[in-house]
């Protein structure tokens, strides 16, 4: 029996990393002779970040009948829980731990946890990376990233770009870059396993869904381009709106559907406390966020009226519960991923499950996963005209859904989990 711990947000949290962590745990649970645990955050971020990260809307139990056990132990803002989390992992005594490392602001507790495990146990630690060492990060952030993952036994990335970023983050370490099911060489080098972002099968199309009626309710035209998910600046919603506006100058049969929660907004639950959080956040954000990444003045939705495309754009500016996600993908013809930077995209993985083509910028992993003219179209990352052309190609040179389906066949969670287990056994 192989015991496995997956550390990261469990059920009850919003966002792609929570969905990723839960899906990976289920993938491990599907393997023979495994016992799988999620050791989860209680609170993922510093108290001064003015956001609400709990999902109080979704009705679907994502772990139903999976056999996965969940333990909620880690509170970013209480050091005693960092040690409690370590103690829980030691109590479980897994063969290996997979730690989701998604936000560099989480470096202090993650770094503490990994270092405690490596200093006091024989448990193998694998860091599953959802960020890279982008040059625009401050020296403070690079230092925190090194602290967070430097002691891990191995790394998983979802693109070659992220693998190269890890190498540049640790120039003093010799790495072996392994792809997919390749064998791990038996030497002293530290392995980086380049995999992929598996397909999110938790969001299934509804065979009884009335596309025509729902398109009418959402005021959508014939061809629908979907931007979905948290509206972080790096995801390029401003690019999607600008490129759509260019295309809309010559076409009246298109709509842009923007669905998701604003990164710059948070529900007001306690006005005095939230005001304090925002004030404290302004003082510290410069230490954690580069000027280019700062989103305090990011308001892409305001572009819609300025560009005169309000009648062709539908905005659902809210968090979407798991049981409602399908309808926005089923009314759409393509997903728009005009990112500024990327390590992997959960929205891309959802799109594959709905057999939707993708229009994306040539950044991060997208040139590896989006086959131009086969599963979607790629655009230059700094060229709005190129992005508009990629959107036009979706209409004039449609992508076959069977192409998207074929490309995603090997990208299962079970295959992903088995590759990690194989990596762990070699360490």
C-alpha–C-alpha distance, residues 122 and 126, integer Å:
13
State the architecture of 211-263+298-407 in CATH terms: 3-Layer(aba) Sandwich (3.40)
* Same fold for the pair 2-198+412-426 and 211-263+298-407: yes
Given a contact cutoff of 8 angstroms between Cβ atoms, the answer to whether 200 and 356 are in contact is: no
CATH code of 2-198+412-426, in short, is 3.40.50.2000
Domain residue limits, the chain: 2-198+412-426, 211-263+298-407
At 256 the pLDDT is 98
- Mean pLDDT, each 10-residue run in order, the chain (427 residues): 96 90 95 96 83 76 86 96 98 98 89 97 96 59 88 93 88 89 66 92 89 96 96 93 97 97 59 50 49 67 96 95 93 96 85 95 90 96 96 97 88 93 92
At 190 the pLDDT is 93
Q: Is the dihedral of CA 181, 412, 106, 231 positive or negative?
A: positive
Residues 6+ apart with CB under 8 A from 392: 247, 251
Strand partners, 179: 194
Q: Is the dihedral of CA 259, 206, 373, 398 positive or negative?
A: negative
3-state secondary structure string across the chain: CEEEEEECCCCCECCHHHHHHHHHHHHHHHCCCEEEEEEEEEECCCCCCCCCCECCCCCCCCCCCCCCEEEEEEECCCHHHHHHHHHHHHHHCCCEEEEEECCHHHHHHHHHHHHHHHHHCCCEEEEEECCCCCCCCCHHHHHHHHHHHCCCCEEEECCHHHHHHHHHHCCCCCEEEEECCCCCCCCCCEEEEECCCCCCCCCCCCCCCCHHHHHHHCCCCCEEEEEECCECHHHCHHHHHHHHHHHHCCCCCEEEEEECCECCCCCCCCHHHHHHHHHHHHHHHHHHCCCCCCCCCCCHHHHHHHCCCHHHEEEECCCCCHHHHHHHHHCCCEEEECCCCCCCCHHHHHHHHCCCCEEEECCCCHHHHCCECCCEEEECCCCHHHHHHHHHHHHHCCCCHHHHHHHCCCCCHHHHHHHHHHHHHHC
At 292 the pLDDT is 47
φ, ψ at 277 (rounded to 5°): -60, -45
């Amino acid at each position: 029996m192989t015991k496995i711990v997956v550390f990261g947000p469990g059920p009850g949290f919003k966002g792609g990393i929570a969905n990723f962590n839960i899906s990976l745990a289920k993938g491990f649970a599907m393997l023979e002779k495994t016992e799988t645990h999620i050791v989860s955050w209680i609170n993922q971020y510093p108290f001064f970040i003015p956001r609400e990260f709990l999902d109080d809307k979704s009705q679907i139990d994502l772990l139903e009948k999976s056999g996965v056990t969940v333990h909620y132990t880690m509170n970013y803002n209480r050091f005693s829980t960092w040690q409690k989390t370590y103690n829980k992992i030691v109590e479980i005594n897994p063969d290996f731990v997979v730690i989701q490392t998604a936000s560099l602001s989480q470096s202090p507790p993650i770094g503490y946890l990994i270092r405690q495990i490596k200093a006091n146990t024989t448990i193998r630690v694998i860091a599953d990376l959802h960020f890279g060492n982008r040059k625009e990060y401050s020296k403070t952030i690079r230092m925190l990233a090194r602290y967070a993952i430097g002691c891990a036994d191995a790394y998983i990335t979802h693109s070659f770009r992220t693998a190269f970023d890890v190498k540049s983050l640790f120039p003093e370490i010799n790495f072996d870059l392994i792809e997919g099911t390749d064998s791990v060489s038996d030497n002293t080098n530290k392995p980086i396993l380049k995999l992929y972002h598996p397909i999110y099968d938790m969001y299934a199309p509804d065979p009884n869904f009335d596309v025509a009626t729902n398109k009418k309710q959402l005021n959508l035209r014939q061809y629908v381009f979907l931007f979905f998910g948290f509206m972080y600046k790096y995801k390029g919603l401003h690019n999607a709106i600008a490129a759509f506006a260019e295309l809309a100058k010559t076409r009246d049969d298109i709509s842009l559907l923007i669905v998701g929660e604003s990164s710059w907004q948070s529900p007001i639950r306690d006005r005095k406390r939230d005001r304090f959080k925002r004030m404290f956040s302004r003082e510290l954000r410069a230490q954690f966020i580069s000027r280019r990444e700062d989103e305090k003045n990011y308001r892409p939705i305001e572009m819609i009226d300025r560009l005169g495309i309000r009648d062709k754009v539908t905005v659902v500016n809210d968090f979407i519960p798991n049981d409602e996600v399908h309808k926005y993908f089923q009314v759409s013809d393509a997903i728009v991923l005009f990112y500024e930077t990327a390590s992997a995209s959960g929205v891309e993985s959802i799109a594959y499950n709905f057999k939707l083509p993708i229009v994306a910028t040539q950044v991060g992993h997208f040139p590896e996963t989006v086959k131009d003219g086969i599963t979607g179209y790629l655009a230059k990352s700094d060229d709005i005209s190129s992005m508009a052309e990629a959107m036009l190609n979706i209409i004039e040179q449609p992508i076959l859904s069977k192409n998207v389906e074929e490309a995603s066949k090997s990208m299962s969670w079970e295959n992903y989990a088995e590759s990690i287990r194989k990596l762990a056994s070699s360490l």
